[in-house]
């Protein structure tokens, strides 16, 4: 893909799953990546899998911690000389059940991490580099942000907010910074295991492509949106769902 070689990226929530899949594709395309996540040990393993410090660095911390964000941004610029790309992948879904029974403290935490956290990362990247030099951002939303998802509705609401923020930021930050989003359906990761464990064939049967997503499916789409091949694309949300939303599923 054009325009990724030599670029520097931050990918949040990147020690495993979708985030690591995105980082792997960016490194394959010649970018250098700062990985963030909560657990240092998992991050160290991810950096090693990506080829070591010539290709990736890690900064452990919580995505909604302002000091962690500033530290990750600073260390990325120090290590790689720029911060051209940002992928907001970190997210949580600690609650399951109807909204009328939802603990509001838990709801605030979901919005704080998934939506406001993504905005805060954009603000930090913009202050440090993108505001002056330009760049590209991809927010990892969800199909639950595109249509209602029973029992995980608060998670879906936070992801819908992320889509709205994507559109608003695309208008505000153009032409120098492009902002897009992807909205995956079920991807085979530890985070999504409760949605398919023990019944993968049954779940996949609802998908026209008859399989669940893999992290590399998301990585390839995100890499495209960050690349110069997508230089006339901004404010868009690309649904990555194997066709399941066409059949009425989420």
User: Mean of the pLDDT values across residues 161-171?
Assistant: 98
Beta-carbon count within 10 A of 122 CB: 23
Pairing outcome for strands 237-240 and 56-60: unpaired
Ordered by start, the domain boundaries in the chain are: 8-242
Q: How confident is the model at residue 198 (pLDDT cuts 50, 70, 90)?
A: confident
pLDDT of 35 above 90? yes
pLDDT, residue 193, reads 82
Q: How confident is the model at residue 88 (pLDDT cuts 50, 70, 90)?
A: very high
pLDDT of 129 above 90? yes
Q: How confident is the model at residue 192 (pLDDT cuts 50, 70, 90)?
A: confident
pLDDT of 166 above 90? yes
User: Mean of the pLDDT values across residues 89-94?
Assistant: 94
Query: Which of 34, 63, 87 is CA-nearest to residue 224?
Result: 87
pLDDT, residue 159, reads 98
pLDDT, residue 196, reads 84
pLDDT, residue 66, reads 96
Catalytic machinery residues? 155
pLDDT, residue 83, reads 98
pLDDT, averaged across the chain: 96
Q: Which residue has the tokens 């325009």?
A: 3
- Residue 208 DSSP label: T
Note if the pTM is more than 0.85: yes
CA distance 75 to 58: 9
CA distance 179 to 139: 8
CA distance 139 to 154: 18
CA distance 156 to 88: 16
pLDDT, residue 228, reads 98
Q: Which residues contact 75 (CB under 8 A, 6 or more apart)?
A: 34, 57, 59
Q: Which residues contact 28 (CB under 8 A, 6 or more apart)?
A: none
User: Mean of the pLDDT values across residues 59-83?
Assistant: 97
pLDDT of 250 above 90? no
CA distance 141 to 241: 12
Q: How confident is the model at residue 181 (pLDDT cuts 50, 70, 90)?
A: very high
Architecture of domain 8-242: 3-Layer(aba) Sandwich (3.40)
């Amino acid at each position: 893909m054009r325009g990724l070689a030599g670029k520097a990226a931050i990918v949040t929530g990147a020690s495993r799953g979708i985030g690591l899949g995105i980082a792997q594709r960016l490194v394959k395309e010649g970018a250098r990546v700062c990985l963030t996540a909560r657990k240092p040990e998992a991050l160290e393993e991810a950096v090693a899998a990506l080829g070591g410090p010539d290709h990736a660095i890690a900064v452990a911390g919580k995505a909604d911690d302002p000091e962690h964000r500033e530290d990750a941004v600073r260390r990325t610029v120090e290590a790689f000389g720029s911060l051209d790309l940002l992928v907001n992948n970190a997210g949580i879904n600690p609650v399951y059940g109807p909204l009328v029974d939802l603990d509001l403290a838990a709801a605030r935490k979901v919005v704080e991490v998934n939506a406001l956290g993504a905005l805060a990362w954009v603000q930090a990247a913009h202050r440090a580099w993108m505001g002056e030099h330009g760049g590209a951002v991809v927010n990892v939303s969800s199909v639950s942000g595109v249509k209602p998802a029973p029992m995980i509705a608060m998670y879906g609401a936070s992801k819908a907010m992320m889509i709205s923020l994507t559109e608003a930021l695309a208008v505000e930050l153009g032409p120098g910074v492009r902002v897009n989003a992807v909205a995956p359906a079920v991807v085979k990761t530890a985070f999504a295991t409760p949605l398919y464990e023990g019944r993968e064939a049954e779940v996949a049967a609802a998908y026209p492509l008859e399989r669940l997503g893999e992290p590399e499916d998301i990585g390839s789409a995100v890499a495209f949106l960050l690349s110069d091949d997508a230089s006339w694309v901004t404010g868009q949300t690309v649904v990555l769902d194997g066709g399941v939303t066409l059949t009425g599923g989420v």
